[in-house]
């Protein structure tokens, strides 16, 4: 039986387990990346593990998230990252060099290799035929130390692309169509693999827009083949030697398939507050908009920026609209300047920002109260923009640019002729903002700088014999890590200061949660389905751990968050019968008898609600490895035990 491309790359990197859908496999990791908002924790953990030099082929530490320096915290963290990277064999991408996923695609991604990153959009690399996974910082730390990365062997969803996009319809519209069909849960447990004659019509950055937002499907990762388009991209980056052709076998068998005729697609928009709440732009056209943001790791390539510049050239942004543009990397930014397109953007009234995540993570540019913001980003979760009652719509750069001029949501295909853009055959290459690490001989002499904002990491505890704890919070379906541990310009500076961060935990759902949790000395959280979707931030586990959360009971969990809970010794439990969710109320006292025994070996544990007498069976779906981690009080404890 033929294999899909994902299966081939997995087979080539398999270090443990069986390639049977649903069973745990361990993968050898060739490259790692971190970004600053998750990187400080990742390197603190790497230091705690005690490995001197990274054992990967390549590891890069990026600074792209916490770039507004409204106090000393972010700058201190940057200095820590710069020095800890130099000390341990990690390349350092300085602030100003760009967004991790865009820069990694340009300068480091290699078809057929594996990459894990402490950021959920690491699957962007799938646009190059590289298998990228988002992971918690601790998993990245372990991989930097040469350890395997564990996932559940995914099923493969094959997406066949036929035809070609009409002018002014973008790659964003393709992935919004996939999201419309599959939903934010549709990719859970799966790799989404693209194939078919339509693939060859898409550039690498367009493919990367699509694989990037596979994260919003809940997918383990997404993948495109590596073909002549990939070769041309790598050649333009001066790295043709990294090219190798990769494709699925002609008789590859997919577990599920769907087919998209690119020629039939029209511009789409994901409406508030979920990336799968997709409607046609045509059906929403005419809606007044207040703000438009173009950029983010999803849509900030040279191709995107040139398209936007061509649409804006000679025009003016509507008087009531504020337009921000963040190019994805220094490479894109300098090329825009060199070809004059930057002038067109500035002249039209765009507020051009530095090449970083910026508004995507609420690092500035929050909309006005109740404001309508169109964004070319990948997430429109409630409150993420920094304005709680803002209404965020996710759209293509084409739609964003057309709407910026009109001042109302506008279908770009109604503009007439598509502007012609020409991409340079050779990109501008200057890696001067990537600092090489010290040599292994000089590394011990590097002083690692730690500012006062860096506080110790909380350590997990072993599960109680019998757990008796209050139900301190009950939430609904699709709770994101932005609900659990909000981000934004005010909170992100505390990513290496868990005690301070804890003041904001779950405040999007309930402003009193941190106080209540502290008073109760911790407890149990109950959630609905797809609990913990979204980002890879392990702070969504670390901070609840700090507040004393012992277990989370949910209908189902998102992959990365579930792994993070286990890594920090918080036990994720699922309802055997989802209807039992209704039987539990906030404030109830819950009892889990023989809890430790169940974590060690059981597949079921009975939850007894002492307040109303309900008895509810819960499932523990853990592998032997995960049970060992939980019994050790977390992965850090276990890895240290193994190393000493
Ligand atoms: C995000 O897009 O939510 C982030 C910010 O990039 C996160 C990482 C983080 O919380 O630092 C992600 O996607 O993993
Ligand atoms: Fe940065 Fe936004 Fe991409 Fe996250 S989704 S890495 S915040 S640009």
pLDDT by residue (tens digit) across 58-108?
999 999 999 999 999 999 999 999 999 999 999 999 999 999 999 999 999
Mean pLDDT for 341-362 is 98
Based on the residue annotation, tell me whether 65 is a catalytic residue of this protein: yes
Kindly give the distance from the C-alpha atom of residue 342 to the centroid of ligand 2, in angstroms, as a whole number: 22
Ligand 1 is surrounded, with C-beta below 6 A, by 37-38, 65, 119-121, 134, 361, 487, 534-537
Distance 225 CA to ligand 1 centre (A): 26
CA 363-369-375 angle, to 5 degrees, is 50
Please report which confidence band the pLDDT of residue 642 belongs to, taking 50, 70 and 90 as the band edges.
confident
Token reading at 93:
């991408």
Question: In this structure, are residues 136 and 538 in contact, taking their beta carbons and an 8 Å threshold?
Answer: yes
Beta carbons of 308 and 401 less than 8 angstroms apart: yes
Model pLDDT, residue 578: 98
Q: Taking the CA atoms of 69, 71, 77 and 83 in sequence, report the sign of the dihedral they define.
A: positive
Full strand arrangement of the beta sheet holding 221-223: 221-223, 190-195, 155-162, 256-261
The alpha carbon of 297 and the centre of ligand 2 are apart by a number of angstroms equal to: 6
- 503 Rama sector, left if φ>0, alpha if ψ -120 to 50, beta otherwise: alpha
What is the C-alpha to C-alpha distance for residues 116 and 30, in angstroms, rounded to an integer?
A: 8
Residues forming beta bridges with residue 552, ordered by sequence position: 525, 572
Name which of 473, 481, 454 is nearest 536 in CA terms: 481
Write down the catalytic residue from 535, 536, 556, 588.
Answer: 535
CA dihedral 60, 460, 17, 15 (to 10 degrees): 30
Regarding the beta carbon of 293 and ligand 2, being less than 6 Å apart is answered no
Ligand 2 pocket mutation pick from 175, 353, 360 by most atoms within 8 angstroms of CB: 360
Does the N-terminal peptide bond of residue 611 adopt cis geometry, omega within 30 degrees of 0? no
- pLDDT tops 70 at residue 301: yes
Residue to mutate (ligand 1; options 41, 102, 120, 382; most atoms within 8 A of CB)? 120
Distances in whole angstroms, Cα of residue 222 to Cα of each of 191, 218, 235, 366: 5, 10, 23, 30
Cα–Cα distance measured from residue 269 to residue 529, given in angstroms and rounded to the nearest whole number: 24
Shortest-distance ligand to the CA of residue 64: 2
Distance CA 127, CA 378 (A): 16
Q: How far apart are CA 329 and CA 323, in angstroms?
A: 19
Among protein residues, the one with the nearest Cα to ligand 2's atom 3 is 297
What CA–CA distance (Å, rounded) separates 218 from 529? 12
pLDDT digits (tens, 9 = 90+) for 486-539: 999 999 999 999 999 999 999 999 999 999 999 999 999 999 999 999 999 999
Whether 64 is a known active-site residue: answer yes
**C-beta of residue 389 within 8 angstroms of C-beta of residue 415:** no
pLDDT at residue 643 above 80? no
Looking at residue 425, what is its pLDDT? 87
Ligand 2 centroid to 632 CA: how many Å?
Answer: 33
If you take atom 2 of ligand 2, which residue's CA is the nearest one?
Answer: 360
User: What is the overall mean pLDDT for the chain?
Assistant: 97
CA 552 – CA 590 distance, rounded (Å): 12
């Amino acid at each position: 039986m033929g294999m899909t491309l994902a299966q081939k790359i997995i087979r080539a990197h398999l270090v443990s387990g069986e390639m049977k859908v649903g069973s745990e496999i361990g993968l050898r990791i060739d490259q790692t990346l971190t970004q600053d908002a998750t990187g400080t924790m990742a390197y603190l953990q790497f230091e705690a593990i005690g490995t001197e030099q990274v054992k990967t082929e390549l590891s890069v530490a990026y600074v792209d998230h916490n770039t507004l320096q409204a106090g000393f915290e972010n700058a201190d963290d940057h200095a820590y990252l710069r020095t800890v990277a130099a000390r341990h064999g990690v390349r350092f991408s300085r602030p100003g060099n760009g967004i991790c996923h865009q820069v990694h695609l340009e300068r480091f991604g290699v078809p057929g290799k594996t990459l894990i990153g402490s950021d959920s959009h690491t699957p962007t690399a799938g646009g190059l035929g590289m298998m990228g996974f988002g992971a918690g910082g601790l998993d990245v730390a372990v991989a930097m130390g040469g350890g395997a990365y564990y996932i559940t062997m995914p099923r493969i969803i094959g997406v066949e692309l036929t035809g070609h996009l009409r002018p002014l319809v973008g790659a964003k519209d393709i992935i919004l169509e996939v999201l419309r069909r599959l939903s934010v849960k549709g990719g859970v447990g799966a790799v989404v693999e693209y194939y078919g004659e339509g693939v060859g019509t898409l550039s690498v950055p367009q493919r990367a827009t699509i694989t990037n937002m596979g994260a919003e499907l809940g997918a383990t990762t997404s993948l495109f083949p590596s073909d002549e388009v990939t070769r041309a991209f790598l050649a333009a980056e001066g790295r043709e030697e990294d090219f190798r052709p990769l494709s699925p076998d002609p008789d590859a068998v997919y577990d599920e398939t769907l087919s998209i005729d690119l020629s039939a697609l029209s511009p789409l928009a994901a409406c508030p507050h979920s990336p799968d709440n997709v409607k046609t732009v045509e059906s929403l056209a005419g809606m007044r908009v207040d703000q438009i943001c173009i950029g983010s790791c999803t849509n900030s390539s040279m191709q995107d920026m040139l398209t936007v510049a061509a649409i804006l050239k000679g025009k003016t942004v509507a008087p009531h609209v504020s337009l921000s543009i963040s190019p994805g990397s220094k490479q894109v930014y300098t090329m825009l300047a060199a070809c004059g397109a930057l002038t067109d953007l500035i002249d039209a009234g765009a507020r051009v920002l530095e090449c970083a995540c910026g508004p995507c993570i609420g690092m500035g540019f929050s909309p006005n109260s109740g404001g309508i913001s169109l964004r070319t980003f990948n997430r429109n979760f409630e409150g993420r923009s920094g304005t709680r009652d803002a209404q965020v719509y996710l759209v293509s750069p084409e739609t964003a640019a057309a709407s910026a001029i009109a001042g109302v949501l506008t279908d770009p295909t109604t503009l007439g002729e598509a502007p012609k853009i020409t991409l340079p055959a050779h990109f501008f290459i200057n890696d001067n903002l990537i600092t090489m690490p010290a040599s292994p001989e000089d590394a011990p002499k590097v002083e690692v700088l730690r500012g006062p904002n860096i506080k110790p990491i909380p350590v997990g505890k072993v599960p109680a014999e019998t757990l008796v704890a209050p139900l301190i919070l009950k939430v609904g379906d699709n709770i994101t890590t932005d609900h659990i541990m909000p981000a934004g310009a005010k909170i992100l500076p505390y990513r290496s200061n868990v005690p301070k961060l804890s003041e904001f935990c779950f405040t999007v759902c309930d402003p009193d949660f941190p106080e209540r949790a502290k008073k109760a000395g911790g407890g149990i959280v109950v959630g609905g389905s797809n609990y913990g979707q979204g980002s890879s931030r392990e702070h969504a586990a670390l901070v609840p751990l700090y507040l004393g959360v012992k277990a989370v009971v949910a209908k189902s969990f998102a992959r990365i968050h579930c792994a993070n809970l286990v890594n920090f010794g918080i036990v994720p439990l699922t309802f055997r019968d989802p209807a039992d969710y209704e039987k539990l109320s906030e404030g109830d006292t819950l009892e889990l008898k023989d809890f430790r025994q169940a974590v060690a070996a059981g597949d079921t544990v009975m939850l007894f609600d002492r307040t109303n007498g309900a008895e509810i069976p819960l499932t523990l779906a853990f592998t032997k490895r995960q049970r060992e981690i939980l019994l050790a009080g977390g992965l850090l404890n276990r890895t240290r035990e193994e190393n000493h």
